[in-house]
A = this chain, B = another copy of it.
Amino acid sequence: MSTTTRCQDCPLRRLDCFRQFSESELAFVDRFKSGELQVEAGSTVLEQSTSSTHVFTVLKGIGFRKKVLDDGRQQILNFIMPGDLIGLQAALFEEMEHSIETLTDMTLCVFQRADMLRLFQDQPSLGFTVVWHASREERMLDEHLVSLGRRTARERIAYTIVILHDRALQLGLVNGDGRVHLPIRQHHLADALGLSLVHTNKTLRGLSSSDVMSWKNGYLTVRDRGTLCQIARYDGSEEAENPLI
């Protein structure tokens, strides 16, 4: 295993979208961190119906959370990007009710579930930050629920593209032309949006033709964010800063 990144040197902290931590917070997190996990693209980090004694934060790479029904139907709940906190459910409940899979190679910072209470005791402000993360994820799920419940296929796709692109932008993953490497396949998109693969493809085709965006060979380009937001009926105001753990 390669040498691990010290939290004080975490490259994510340099990004504008993460708040500055105090010395004591940083020192605590660095001690709290018990290692790093390298995971290959296309593998399962956490499995539905199993339990786990770890909590992770994403240092690098992207993935997604999903649930499967016993007859095989599956639903992607949300996509996971650097800075995200994952596996909190595993730390609080007996059993995971979702799986986590990777889309690219990922690097995860590993924390022990057993240390969580100590985090709350020793660094209340970090405890608060954990709630912040849980609450932000809930907001994303809320909006996703609106998509699945009330948006048409075209609107859903436009919304999801805006969200993914915005997050990538915040993280500095987008180049000057609005292009970002996102190896999300059409079947992933279909599973996230509650659509069939075929209909996802046709709708995506429709959006691409109007030249507001393109998504080819794992590269997403957004050319006209405003129009996409309009199509999606999404008010699209930008996010404030995130407290990284």
Contacts and interface: CB of A to CB of B under 8 A. Distances in A.
A151 B67 CA distance: 12
A211 interface: no
Contact of A73 (B141, B150, B235): B150
- Tell me whether chain A's interface is mostly helix, strand or loop, or mixed: helix
A197 interface: no
Contacts of A117: 124-125, 128
Interface stretch (A21-29, A33-41, A90-98, A216-224): A90-98
Contacts of A137: 138
Nearest to A94: B240
Contacts of A142: 65, 67, 77, 97-98, 141
B143 A141 contact: no
Nearest to A97: B139
Interface in A144-162: 144-146, 148-151
Contacts of A116: 128
30 contacts: A67-B142, A67-B143, A67-B145, A67-B146, A69-B150, A71-B233, A77-B145, A92-B131, A92-B135, A92-B136, A93-B135, A93-B240, A94-B240, A97-B142, A98-B142, A116-B128, A117-B125, A127-B128, A127-B131, A131-B131, A134-B134, A134-B135, A138-B138, A141-B141, A145-B145, A145-B148, A148-B148, A148-B194, A149-B194, A150-B194
A93 B135 CA distance: 9
Interface of A: 65, 67, 69-71, 73-75, 77, 88-89, 92-94, 97-98, 116-117, 120-121, 124-125, 127-128, 130-132, 134-139, 141-146, 148-151, 191-194, 233, 235, 240
Given A75-B149, A148-B148, 5 more contacts: A70-B235, A74-B150, A88-B131, A141-B141, A149-B193
Task: With a 10 A CB-CB cut-off, give which of A77, A128, A235 has the most chain B CB atoms.
Answer: A128
Given A75-B150, A142-B98, A88 B135 contact: yes
A124 to B, nearest CB: 4
Contacts of A67: 142-143, 145-146
Contacts of A128: 116-117, 120, 127
Nearest to A70: B233
